[in-house]
Amino acid sequence: MKFDKPAQENPIDQMKVVGRPHDRIDGPLKTTGTATYAYEWHKEAPNVAYGHVVGAAIAKGRITSMDISAAKNAPGVLAVVTADNAGPLGKGEMNAATLLGGPEIEHYHQAIAVVVAETFEQARAASALIDVRYRREPGAYDLARQKPGVTEPPDDTPDKVVGDFDGAFNTAAVKLDATYTTPDQSHMAMEPHASMAAWEGDKLTLWTSSQMINWWKGDLAKTLNIPEENIRVRSPYIGGGFGSKLFLRSDALLAALGARAAKRPVKVMLPRPFIPNNTTHRPATIQRVRIGAEESGRITAIAHESWSGNLPGGPTETATNQTELLYAGANRHTGLRLAELSLPEGNSMRAPGEAPGMMVLEIAIDEMAERLGMDPVEFRIRNDTQVDPAKPERFFSRRQLVECLRTGAERFGWNRRNPKPAQVRDGRWLVGYGMAAGFRNNLLTPSGARVLLDSQGVVTVETDMTDIGTGSYTIIAQTAAEMMGVPLEKVVVRLGDSDFPVSSGSGGQWGANSSTAGVYAACVKLREAVANTLGMDASTVEFTDGQVRAADRSVPLAEAAAGGTISAEDTMEYGDLDQQFQQSTFAGHFVEVAVDAATGEVRVRRMLAVCAAGRILNPKTARSQVIGAMTMGLGGALMEELAVDTRLGFFVNHDMAAYEVPVHADIPEQEVIFIEDTDPISSPMKAKGVGELGLCGVSAAIANAIYNATGVRVRDYPITVDKLLNGLPTLV
């Protein structure tokens, strides 16, 4: 199905099932431990062996020798696979570094071997017997040190210039020119990267933890130099991804290579300390923001430049995305700079681009509002725009930022805020309010599905869509139930298998809208097939309460499949509506913090998010997404930071004992409000993504609240005690 015109009224608009706060249908499986994750396919591989990965002990250089003889002769060892004996390997299109290194080393903890043994303990013990000698080479590990030499944009991301920024900024009545930093951050999903591989002749089956089934299948085929049709990837349940499982990782490759060498199914799970250094992370940024405005508060000039680092061939952190679109201003300049670093690969982490970009832009906007003597909410509203500032003829499909901000301010009690910092006390605590706008672009991705109807009236949906803990099973079931007129209990959803039609996968906030649109397309075809089977007019027939109705005739849906299961398959593809209209999601984030006047300890007391993201397909699962994102924003503001050893080139705090993330005790009162709306430009579902929107802007709202509480403006994340202590008000 081609979606190239705005959606009209359709069966989803009934909202008998879609739009309702249903419990997650996979919830009972997960809470009882019966959902099968990548490392747990015991019945499929009863004779499984275990692989343990060896990581490089240097960040840049070369292996001069590797003696694996002791490991091969260790008890229980079945195989030791290295780059020397793995056979010719390629590299996936989406990998910056090779997944099995040697002899060249590209980053610390790059996999250089996998030891396969009868038990995990034997594999781990034997891996310690491999004797590796290196020649270390100098590398660049410090973004701040590299920044002065990086002055030109990457070839694929040129600067974007509108009007005369320099002229407008120089003549502006009120100006801001400030530099901010965000740190390297790590994905810390509950489920580590894990895979199990089994070969039958030249056919490979991989059970893994993957957000994007089709991407993995394609890149694994390129890496192993085998046809894609010889690979089956299965990933029905995923214990979190946050972007780190978008792309093929070393556990999958090494499980496949280990299984081929041992001639046995092999499981490989990356140890927790490998997650930051062996997989991917959010790269650090250095960002400069310049804003010029009239005394009235109207922005006349805005510029945002961001520096990040990566391995050769790695992507840029697109931290200026939101600045191109969020506020009006006739004169604009945004630009990205990419330094070459020998740190582990940087790539997508939840809401890449806007997450670190909003951390900075929304502090700068707050600083500018203070210089103008304006309320931060009103300053943002005054500079709202209903069109793309660079292309005024291109309107937003739906833009409810002002409604989000006004609703949030009223619900939060923003009028009680004292605009003068460090004035409100509650015992030993300094109390402050902060807010920020939220913004995340709406991305559209083709997505397919197969829908089947059996003689019992059960509708089965098959798609390689994944569920990373976000509720894909439930919203897909709701879509099929709404389209086919059956209760949720009559829908079976099967996900995460490359034998199913290719879907959008989970990532970039595109998963919910795109995958359900694909199911919608398949259900349209199934409705047509059912109508034709029953001799009804497909254009007028109604599907409701398990019945198919046309004029004065009503037939049970199951009757259509009495002669055998009916199947339909389709893919939702998109025209150029995203070029005609700017499609984005918006939020208002409001936070109350308390800061200990003596120690600088920060406690977040209240958080509110008001979100506008089209039709909300399931308010219950969507709320869970947003409060999870808000919690991640709290972590980004106050604690999450990968500490870089700039001498040796690795992340020091590379496990959950040292890398701090928010826990339940840190989570304050959280409230989420969804603005009721639909966006017919987006898809037939009239929905947009919401999960990453809940993160974008949260950290800045916390930073702004800390400033309001203490008078200390911190421009370098995370906002830790040492950055506050010297500026706290004098104790009386």
Q: Which residues are catalytic?
A: 692
Burial class (CB in 10 A: 0-12, 13-18, 19+), 93: exposed
Residues 6+ apart with CB under 8 A from 732: none
Task: Please list the alpha-helical segments (H only) found in 485-584.
Answer: 511-534, 577-580
Find, among 277, 265, 224, 273, the residue nearest to 248 by Cα: 224
Task: Please list the alpha-helical segments (H only) found in 140-232.
Answer: 143-146, 165-170, 213-224
Pairing relationship of beta strands 194-200 and 331-340 according to DSSP bridges: unpaired
Find, among 373, 359, 276, 292, the residue nearest to 327 by Cα: 292
| CA 89 vs CA 92, 208, 225, 330: distances in Å | 10, 20, 7, 51
Angle of helix 472-484 relative to helix 511-534, nearest 10 degrees, comes to 30
| Residues facing residue 346 across a β-bridge | 281
Segment (H or E) for 234: strand 231-234
As a whole number of angstroms, the distance between CA 330 and CA 312 comes to 36
Query: Which structure tokens are listed for 622?
Result: 């969507």
Segment (H or E) for 276: helix 274-278
As a whole number of angstroms, the distance between CA 436 and CA 587 comes to 8
Query: Which structure tokens are listed for 44?
Result: 């499929």
The answer to whether 484 and 453 are in contact (CB under 8 A) is yes
Task: Please list the alpha-helical segments (H only) found in 648-695.
Answer: none
| Residues facing residue 342 across a β-bridge | none
Segment (H or E) for 48: none
Residues 6+ apart with CB under 8 A from 677: 398, 400, 612, 614, 615
Find, among 458, 189, 441, the residue nearest to 318 by Cα: 441
What single DSSP character describes residue 228?
G
The answer to whether 230 and 202 are in contact (CB under 8 A) is yes
| CA 262 vs CA 113, 197, 267, 478: distances in Å | 14, 11, 12, 44
Tokens 């280990």 correspond to 258
Query: Which structure tokens are listed for 188?
Result: 């810390």
Tokens 């800390």 correspond to 706
The answer to whether 448 and 501 are in contact (CB under 8 A) is yes
Q: What is the CA radius of gyration of the chain?
A: 27
Find, among 16, 330, 298, the residue nearest to 174 by Cα: 298
As a whole number of angstroms, the distance between CA 298 and CA 557 comes to 59
As a whole number of angstroms, the distance between CA 437 and CA 384 comes to 11
